Amino acid sequence: MTGFEMLVAENMQPLERFVKFRIGNSSDAEDVLQEVLIAAYRGQETLSDETVFKQWILGIARNKCNDYFRAKAKRMEIPLESLDEAELTVGIYGVTTRMVVRETLDRLGDTYKQILYLSFFKELPQAEIANRLGIPVGTVKSRLFHAKQQFRELYPEKPKGETPMKNNRNYMPEFLPDYQIKEIGGEPFAVCWEEMMGWLIVPKLGEKISWAMYDFPKRNRTEQCDMEVVDRAEVHGIEGVEIEAVEYDPMDCNRIGDADVAKRRFVAQLTDTHCRYLAESHIEDGVKKLYTFLDGDEFLLSWGFGKDNCGNETHIASKGLIQKLGSVVKTAKQPFMLDVVGRYEVQINGKTFDTVCVIDAGAYEEGVVTEQYLDRNGRTILWRRFNRSDWMQESYKRPWTELLPENERITVDGETYVHWYDCITDYIL
């Protein structure tokens, strides 16, 4: 094996992850990967420093992925009226909606939207645009000039630097309000669930939320987190938004060093089909640590979800993978089991919510089952966690049936799980 082949072999895993992360069609991804390897082989003489091989070949991969999407964009048929909905960016798991561009396009007249569509979306030469519209080329040039000028004037200026979250902590209740959960029968409704897995915020500009955890059986607040989407962001060429999170009195698993306040920044991406993490960063012992989806298990074990970190599906309905009858849960015993199991009325904080229950049976973490009650807006009303009796027993020294003997128990595929804590957000307050 040559030195070049050894470098390729050593970096094949992040290379495959990068290409397949950006291109959802597995067959197309394999084709693009082959193009990358061929281009790298032909251009290996341009690599003067082998220590930057990874960055070098990922740069080739980025260009080949861009070529793929440019070729695909030329074949897309987007009617003029769809520009009223959003600018569409094709990604691995769906179409990303860029709200700022959409709002700017909404303010343009149809004539200017049409000329921008033909010129930038369809990439047609001005002579072809003139032929399609039946107008002189000079008119095309004039309209295009004025359309771009008006778009620039209407497009909001990007904020300079970071936008820190204001220190306006929204205190959640000290104790969890009483609640009742009642199954109401009938077909559970499908729901669009756009929240980030485990963090309950929707990754869209302008969103903010506070949530808190409550330990059982005391029902006392043990941790609170305030979150806000602060800016647009991009990680390895993939667009998303940046989210600031401030955790007060964090649990041991969320604690950063010895601090009683943990501050993190996430980059997350919301498409029309999935919501997923792209990066996480925090400062520990004066050092800023940054992890992205290309960092393998170091990132995926904490922040990844789903096959190849596809994230959680945003459009969910019952698939029949999980059944719940009272305190007994049965699953299809396959990877990434998350399913709608029924329709429930949740009464909490003096309010009544019509919800569906979504059960995660070990999809996020082995030995952990969660119940998440979502309303028709796709927002979490109540989130409940259960641990298998032997979960992390090497750390906690005793089974959870002994640690929390008073807490509710459920049976999942014949094994006992014990209720640990609940979570609510200020959405219900």
Q: What CATH number is given to the structural domain containing 102? A: 1.10.10.10
* Dihedral sign, Cα of residue 89, residue 312, residue 293, residue 333: negative
**Residue 71 domain flag:** yes
Domain identity same for 205 and 296: yes
382 residue type, one letter = L
The per-residue pLDDT for 151 is: 78
Domain identity same for 112 and 247: no
The per-residue pLDDT for 77 is: 39
**Residue 332 domain flag:** yes
**Residue 128 domain flag:** yes
The per-residue pLDDT for 28 is: 84
**Residue 174 domain flag:** no
From residue 162, how far is each of 65, 127, 205, 213, 229 by CA, in Å?
Answer: 29, 44, 14, 29, 11
The per-residue pLDDT for 90 is: 39
The per-residue pLDDT for 101 is: 58
Domain boundary among 75, 103, 135: 75
Report the C-alpha gap between 271 and 327 in whole angstroms: 35
List pLDDT tens digits, range 266-281.
999 998 889 999 999 9
Read off φ and ψ for residue 191, nearest 5 degrees.
-145, 145
Ranges of the chain with pLDDT below 70? 1, 24, 70-106, 120-123, 155-170, 253-254, 258
The per-residue pLDDT for 171 is: 79
The whole model's pTM is what? 0.68
* Dihedral sign, Cα of residue 385, residue 387, residue 388, residue 391: positive
How many domains does one find in the chain? 3
Domain identity same for 137 and 229: no
Residue holding tokens 């010129």? 119
The per-residue pLDDT for 260 is: 79
Q: For the chain, give me the number of helices (H) and strands (E)?
A: 10, 20
Report the C-alpha gap between 280 and 199 in whole angstroms: 13
Q: Are 408 and 388 in contact (CB under 8 A)?
A: no
The residues, any chain, with a CB within 8 Å of residue 232's CB and separated by 6 or more, are 100, 158, 205, 239, 240, 241, 242
The per-residue pLDDT for 93 is: 38
The per-residue pLDDT for 121 is: 61
